[in-house]
């Protein structure tokens, strides 16, 4: 599932039977001290920002063949910053106010209301997330699963895919903890949802994660 080290070119996504999938990327404005705050404690806020920029840019490069990609950003007043950073020709959507659960549920509902047949939510800080994971998630939904999670090594998830909104799935979850995925799976079980887990990957949140990603060649240059 991991993208080969140093892979910056892309191949086409195979969308299987699902039509009109939407990939929602949840991002923060590229502001010093606003992104990668845990990493910044070890490497400094400026370097953490450069790490974040490269991670997000790499993620978008791996998705550039996908037509329905939406950038969901925070804070809501950062539209001009996001466009200056990632280009004016993308689909930008400010996140609603509230916790992560509320923001996820709202964005997912809006995408389905807009005609999406399936919705896949990701962030920008999982360096190995690429075509293989999106294909696997789409395949799972085609095969009858209701929800797909891509687990992270720290107990969260790097991807959630759905073929219906399921807002309850994002309520009463302890986000950014070692039990986030476990709690989400418990809610899915209570809702009677069929769940598929993808292979486990890692996010870049700590200095050790950064060293690992650098060693595996996921950065186009060393963030200084």
The arithmetic mean of pLDDT across residues 91-112, rounded, is 97
Examine residue 8 and state whether it is found in any structural domain, yes or no: no
In a domain, 15, yes or no: no
88 in a structural domain: yes
How many other CB atoms are there within 10 angstroms of residue 195's CB atom?
A: 16
Name the packing angle between helices 79-86 and 45-61 (round to 10°): 60
Number of domains the chain contains: 1
pLDDT of residue 35: 97
Report yes or no on 119 lying in a domain: yes
pTM for the predicted model, two decimal places = 0.89
Domain annotation covers residue 108: yes
- State the Cα–Cα distance between residues 138 and 120, nearest whole angstrom: 9
Q: Which residues sit opposite 160 in a β-bridge? A: 121, 149
In a domain, 65, yes or no: yes
For residue 5, name the pLDDT band (cuts at 50, 70, 90): very low
Average pLDDT value over all residues in the chain: 90
Residue 153 lies in a domain: yes
For residue 197, being part of any structural domain is answered with: yes
Is the per-residue pLDDT at 223 higher than 90?
no
* Over residues 148-168, mean pLDDT: 97
Domain range for 59 is: 21-215
CA atoms within 13 Å, Cβ hemisphere of 3: 24
CATH code at 162? Answer: 3.90.550.10
């Amino acid at each position: 599932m991991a993208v080969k080290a140093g892979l910056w070119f892309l191949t086409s996504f195979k969308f299987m039977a699902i039509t009109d999938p939407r990939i929602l990327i949840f991002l923060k404005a590229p502001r010093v001290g606003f992104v990668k705050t845990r990493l910044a404690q070890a490497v400094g806020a400026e370097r953490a920002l450069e790490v974040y920029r490269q991670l997000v840019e790499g993620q978008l490069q791996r998705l550039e063949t996908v037509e329905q990609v939406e950038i969901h950003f925070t804070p809501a007043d950062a539209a001009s910053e996001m466009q200056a950073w990632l280009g004016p020709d993308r689909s930008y959507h400010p996140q609603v106010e509230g916790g992560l659960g509320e923001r996820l549920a709202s964005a997912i509902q809006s995408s389905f209301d807009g005609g999406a047949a399936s919705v896949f939510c990701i962030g920008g800080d999982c360096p190995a997330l690429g075509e293989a994971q999106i294909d696997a998630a789409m395949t799972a939904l085609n095969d009858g699963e209701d929800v797909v999670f891509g687990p992270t090594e720290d107990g969260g998830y790097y991807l959630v895919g759905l073929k219906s909104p399921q807002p309850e799935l994002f309520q009463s979850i302890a986000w950014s903890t070692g039990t986030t995925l476990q709690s989400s799976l418990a809610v899915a079980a209570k809702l009677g949802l069929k769940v598929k887990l993808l292979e486990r990957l890692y996010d870049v949140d700590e200095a050790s994660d950064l060293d690992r990603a650098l060693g595996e060649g996921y950065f186009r240059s060393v963030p200084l």
